[in-house]
Amino acid sequence: MPKKARAYWKGHLRLSLVSIGVEIYNAVESKGEISFRQIHKPTGKRVNYEKTVAGVGKIDSSDIVKGFEVDTDTYVILEPDEIDAVKIESKKTIDLVQFVDAKEIDYRYFERPYFVVPSDELAAEGYVVIRDALNKTGKVGLAQVTIGGREWLVAIAPLQEGLVMEMLRYAQELRDPADFFDEIPSAKPPKDMVDLAAQLIGQKASAFAADKYEDHYQTALKQLVQEKMKGAKIVASNDDARPKGANVVDLMEALKRSVGGSKVGEKPTAAQTPKLSDKPAATNATKSKQRAKKPA
């Protein structure tokens, strides 16, 4: 464990009558990201912000309270002691009350991961028992824990040699997918196209390895800062690497070339061309007509 790591939360992990001391640590590292400040260009100094009210001007921080908007420019004012009165008292316990298959949890619910570690040697034995039991059953434990006066829904799951706690969103926080997917055509695409796409996915399938991917934007920003510190003048490129509208090709053709390993526009060899049924493939134009005929 890093020497400077500070526990985010300390308490107990409980499974029925088994209770062990644990500490929670943030599993996400964000300090490496580039962040910007607003600077006054003529002086090079940072821009400050003042609290102001329209028609009043500058105000004191002591006069600021929290309010919930119930209508346009109409608020219910809440005093700090009123908010504190409804905060849930922390029980300092993660009580595992339900177990589910990990695949049952929609990934939209996952919000932020934390490492769970035993607080001392005495807790270590019970800790590894719970870890190995979760591994054996393929389950994750669900619980509600109070942190900072707020009640969180969490999932406890095995991770390598330890346990990870994932904070979950509540169902009420998620938008209804139907509100966004209602205009997607309901007609099934041609089986040949789906088979080709599935074959292409199979060719590119492999085990997940996050360390193979890099945030190129953050890397470029860091390099840009270093170059600017050296006094280099940065000239923006006019090249646009994004696909142009005129480069649109037939979907079936693109799938054939992709599966066969050829570039779009090249004529595939007999060995590269997948065997298809006699059913004519639907083109982009045909699919557009189908969508146009869809009832409103």
Model confidence pLDDT, tens digit, residues 121-130: 899 999 999 9
Give the pTM: 0.63
Q: Where does residue 138 fall: left (phi above 0), alpha (psi -120 to 50 degrees), or beta otherwise? A: left
- pLDDT above 90: percentage of residues in the chain: 27
pLDDT tier for residue 4 given thresholds of 50, 70 and 90: low
**DSSP 3-state assignment of 244?**
coil
Tell me which residue has tokens 């890093």: 2
Nearest to 226 by CA among 45, 34, 40, 38: 34
Question: Which pLDDT score, from 0 to 100, does residue 158 have?
Answer: 95
Sketch out the chain's domains with CATH numbers: 9-28+87-173 (2.40.290.10), 185-203+251-275 (no CATH)
* Consecutive H or E run containing 2: none
| Mean pLDDT, residues 137-146 taken together | 92
